[in-house]
Every structure is written in C-alpha cells, then in structure tokens.
Structure 1
Amino acid sequence: MCAGAGMGVDSGLPDFRGPEGFWRAYPPYRALGLRFEELADPVHFADDPELAWGFYGHRLELYRRTEPHAGFAVLSGWAKRWPTRVFTSNVDGQFQRAGFADESVAECHGSIHVLQCTAHCGRPPWPADDVAVVVDPETMRARPPLPSCPSCGSLARPNILMFGDADWVPDRSLPQLRAHTSWRRELRAADVPLTVVEIGAGTAVPTVRREAELASAASGALVRINLREPEVRHGRGVGLAGPAAATLTELAAHLMA
C-alpha cells in the first residue's frame, strides 16, 4: 500500500492543496501571506521558534485527535489476509493509529509524533508522547515553554523532512525504508505476485507515485485511487477517480461478493 496526503482527507485532515486550500484550513496564515511551503521550512526553528511550533504544535494536536476513516479499516482487514506493508509520505501516524504495526509502515518523510534535537547533540529521535504545545488560535504562535531535548535542553523539532531540510535526522525512517525495500526484493526473488494499492498520492510531490509505479512495474498490478489525478499514464494498472474511504469500501464489497 502506498499513501499520500489524500488518504487523510476523509478523516477530516487538510491536504494543503495549493495556497487557497491551506489558507482555508489555517486562516491566520492568509493574513500573514504565508503558504504551507514557507511555514514547513526548518529555518523557522532557528529564526522564529514560536512561529514554527505554532504550526507544528497545532498539527500535532490535530493528528492526535483525528480518528482514521473507514478506509483504514478496509486496509487493515486486507493486511490480516495478505502480507502487507505501507509506504507513505504522510507524517500523521494514522496507519499506526488504525492498527498497523510500526515495523510494517515506512514513513519516507518522518513522523510528527517523533522529535529530534535542533542542536544535534547526538540523542536519537524520541517519541513526542508527553509533548503538549499551547498555540494561540489568533496568531498561530506557540506559547512558551517550547519542546526541548531531554539530553541537552536545546530546542526540539518534529522529526519530519521539511522543505530544503539539511538538518533532518533520518535515523528512524531509514531502517523503515530499508526494510520495505528488502521486503519487495524478497517477494520478487521468490516470484510472489505483488499488488500495489496507491491512495491519495498526487503529482506535486511524486515520491509516493514513483514508489507505487516502481513496486508494481513487474506485475502491472497497480490500483490508483485519486479524486483528481487517477490516470495511470504508463498503462500498467487501473485508475479509480474517487475519495479514499468510499472507494476502498466499495472495493472491499466487490472482493467479498
């Protein structure tokens, strides 16, 4: 399974599609003229940490409150029937919340539920379970105290690969990605057919689409679920134009028929 931002929309999560979509989700940033790409920049943790943690602190609490939609239950049911792994660019942790084991999920952009030290003191990324960030809803700025590194006391930041990010610590994500790649190679070596279900992955940031196309290249068994961009241009697979929850539920009904 491969999932992009569109996978979370039916759970009520914003997909930040274009500045207008982002500003509808976060009106205060419209007044500031700040786009998602500008806020998701690690430079703010050095230059304006209250602004940085206002953005990520709000998202952290949003993702904690969000319940995975019915489509996740469909995927979880399939995972109980067939060997399954997940490759996702989403940082929201929704697959784990839906019951997928952490070791079966490869998060290529990291996770908002994990923190890292901005001073690179040597501490490995750690869970953000005990972190609570108070955000002013009018200004979207975080109020002190801000999250800090338990080892050295320096400012902490989410363990997420941001735009132009040279400071991301990939210690947690790299083993996930290596395990995912090894799994695919083992299947290919054993001549085990692989079906790839890709959900909500757009072309603006094509990481997930490329992974899905690469993984399904030998079998041609790609199912692309996308409300706006369902086309399978290389012709090896099928595209379904629809939202994640309804389309997955309908597919599950067909499989049970």
Structure 2
Amino acid sequence: MKHIVVLTGAGMSAESGIKTFRDADGLWEGHDVMQVATPEGFQDNPELVLDFYNQRRRQLLTVEPNAAHFDLASLEKDYKVSIITQNVDDLHERAGSSNVIHLHGELLKVRNVIDELSYFEHQGDIKLGDTCPKGHQLRPHIVWFGEMVPNMDIAMEVCATADILVIIGTSMQVYPAASLMHYVPEGTPTYFIDPKPAMDSRGSLIVIAETATKGVKEIIGLLKSKD
C-alpha cells in the first residue's frame, strides 16, 4: 500500500471559515503576532493572550470540516495516509483522518506553563488563575514563535517514508515546517495545492493553482488514473 504524506497549512481550513494565520498587514485578528503568539507576549499580558485563544477556540467549535478534509480522509481506503499539519484545529480528525501530526499544537488542548508534554483535552475558556492539579497556570497547547516544535522529528521520519507528497494551503515559507518537503525521498511525486502558489511545476513537482477543495478532488482524479 502506497504511503501518501500530506502537509497542510492555513489554506486547508480557510474554506471552513477559519481565517488564515496572518492578514496582509501582518496582523492576526487585529493583533500583532508578537503579542499573542510568543512566550514573551504571554509573559507581558497573559490575560490578552488567554482571551485571544479563547475566542479562537469558541470559533473552532462553530465550524465544520470542508470537502477537502473529507476527501483526504477517504484516501485511507486505498492508501496509507499521514497528515502533518501546521493548523491547530481538529478538522482533519473530525473528517475521519486517523493519523494526524500537529506541528504547532492543538487549540482544543491545554497544558501548564511548566511542562510542554503534559497536555489534555479542553474545550472551554482558560482564565488567569486556572491551574493544573500541580498548581501551575494553564496555557493553550500551542507552539508559539521561539518555542521548540516537539513533533518535528516524528514528521521528518514520516516524510522519509513517503511514496507521494501532497502540500495544501501553505506557503512553505515558515520554518522548520517548510523544510519537511526536503525529507521525502528524491524523485517522490509531489503535488502542491494553493490558489496563489509560490512555486512552479518542475520535475516531480506538480503545482495545482486551486483552493483546497478543488485541488484535492483534482489530485484524487490523478491518483485514480495512475492506479
């Protein structure tokens, strides 16, 4: 069974109503990213950061997976599929994908400020003063700028076993995630889906300038034609 590795970014969830990470002006939902997505920002104004993610969490609970999420999940009938996502939502899982690696954390999980590996499910708000059983303040289970990416090594190992690579809705500009496409075996067929792609087709790379929902359907058609 061929192994398809899928790298997804903000464009994957945009059609579900989740805004992309940063607008053109560099702001995220009206906030400077350094205020709400860094350890320093949390240290300076923890209430602002907690409220920011509380709003993102509430929004996530109001949206549903889109057709691209469901189409990727359906590939598991004929392929081994590993999804490596930069997204912090759970839409891949809700659509039925069974092997999802989150590089940047998960919005519906929390952890304490001391132990990045001690996290648990949480769908409600987090407030200043909310603590874990050990008495440490809770924070979103999100990998902020400047923090280590705990699942990066796992993601690199997965990419090294890919027979097919699919990249959806990510500029491949944010490191270390952007480096993952270089860990697949040389010559691996690679499909890049983005309505405004930052690269052109060449060699084993096929660029599909479409949204996630249209692009994934196109890839499924291409895969079926080659089976």
Q: 1:6 aligns with which of 7, 11, 14?
A: 11
CA contact (8 A) 1:224 1:230 kept: no
1:248 paired with 2:224, answer: no
Question: Which of these two proteins has the greater Rg computed from alpha carbons?
Answer: 1
Aligned residue identity for 1:17: R
- Provide closer, same or farther for how the CA distance between residues 249 and 52 of structure 1 changes in structure 2, counting only shifts above 3 A: same
Q: For the structure 1 residues 72 and 121, does the alpha-carbon distance in structure 2 shift closer, same or farther, using more than 3 Å as the test? A: closer
Deviates more, 1:237-246 or 1:39-48: 39-48
* CA shift in 2, pair 1:124/1:45, >3 Å: same
SS class of match (1:75): helix
Amino acid at match of 2:12: M
2:174 matched residue in structure 1: 205
1:98 alignment partner AA: A
Q: Residues 241 and 19 from structure 1, CA distance in 2 versus in 1: closer, same or farther, beyond 3 angstroms? A: closer
CA RMSD across the alignment: 2.8
CA contact (8 A) 1:87 1:208 kept: no
CA offset at residue 240 of structure 1?
Answer: 0.8
Question: 2:100 aligned with 1:105, yes or no?
Answer: yes
Could you tell me which residue of structure 1 aligns to residue 51 of structure 2?
54
Letter in 2 for 1:36: V
* Structure with greater helix percent: 1
5+ long unaligned stretches in structure 1: 134-144, 188-192
- Decide whether the 8 Å contact of 1:5 with 1:89 is kept in 2: yes
Higher normalized strand content (fraction of residues): 2
Counterpart of 1:85 in structure 2 is 82
CA contact 2:89–2:108 (8 Å) conserved in 1: yes
1:160 aligns with 2:142: yes
Map residues 217-236 of structure 1 onto 2, 5 A cutoff.
217-232=185-200, 235-236=203-204
Distance 1:132 1:237, change over 3 A: same
Match of 1:40 in 2: 37
- Which residues of structure 2 form unaligned runs of 5+? 1-5
Q: Which contiguous aligned blocks of 4+ residues in structure 1 show a shift greater than 4 angstroms?
A: 177-185, 253-257
* 2: CA distance, partners of 1:45 / 1:180: 27
- What's the offset of the Cα at 1:235? 3.7
Equivalenced residue count is 220
